[in-house]
Amino acid sequence: MNRRTMIDVLAMSLILSPLACEESADLSVPTESEAGAHYASSSDLSVRVSGNVVEVTVEQPLRQVRRGGSLWAKVGPYIYLFTDETQSLLRAYPGVSGVRVITRTDGGRNEVARAFLHRDSLNELTWRRARNIAGRARTGGTQRPVLLEQLVKWGQDHTEFGYNEDFVG
């Protein structure tokens, strides 16, 4: 081995050896009961874990969707997605790649809307903004539909989403 090759090998081993000594990253995911505990304050939903995705399914009353039209159909997932519960779940379980919220109606037979929030879609500042927008929509959206519209816009900008054309078309 010539001197240059030996220096290159030594340099690479010095660079890579700390990586080999590091502990493996914590990529734990919650059980369904652990994930459900994060959303325990809401009784109208179910939680399941599918691989590294937490899926929250919410029953949205058909009369609410009919009365509120496409706006209420679209806003459903974001009401539950941009919450302290979702943020704390993502913090507690680094192996969770994201949270998907699905709203259903008619006893769970018809999907209304869905949104998937990737783990890294929001930082501390944007999480704060998301919770603020969602909180304002939850408390004042009935009287001021513009708050619901703002939440839908925010959700569309930060998630992968889909809406059932039967409810929003």
DSSP-based three-state secondary structure for 108: coil
Residue 66 within any structural domain of the chain: yes
Give the pLDDT confidence of 23-44 residue by residue, as tens digits: 567 788 999 999 999 988 777 8
β partners of residue 58: 45, 103
Q: Which domain holds residue 94?
A: 30-168
Residue 144 within any structural domain of the chain: yes
Q: Which residues of the chain have pLDDT under 70?
A: 1-24
pLDDT value, residue 138: 94
Q: What's the rounded Cα separation, in Å, for the pair 91 and 45?
A: 21
DSSP 29-91: ---HHHHHHHTTT-SSEEEEEETTEEEEEEE--HHHHHHHHHHHHHHHHHHHHSSHHHHHHHH
Residue 96 within any structural domain of the chain: yes
What's this model's pTM, rounded to 2 decimal places?
Answer: 0.83
Q: What's the rounded Cα separation, in Å, for the pair 144 and 137?
A: 8
Contacts of 16 (CB under 8 A, 6+ apart): none
The domain total for the chain is 1
Residue 24 within any structural domain of the chain: no
Strand 98-105 relative to strand 160-163, pairing: unpaired
- In this structure, is the dihedral angle defined by the CA atoms of residues 32, 33, 39 and 41, taken in order, positive or negative? positive
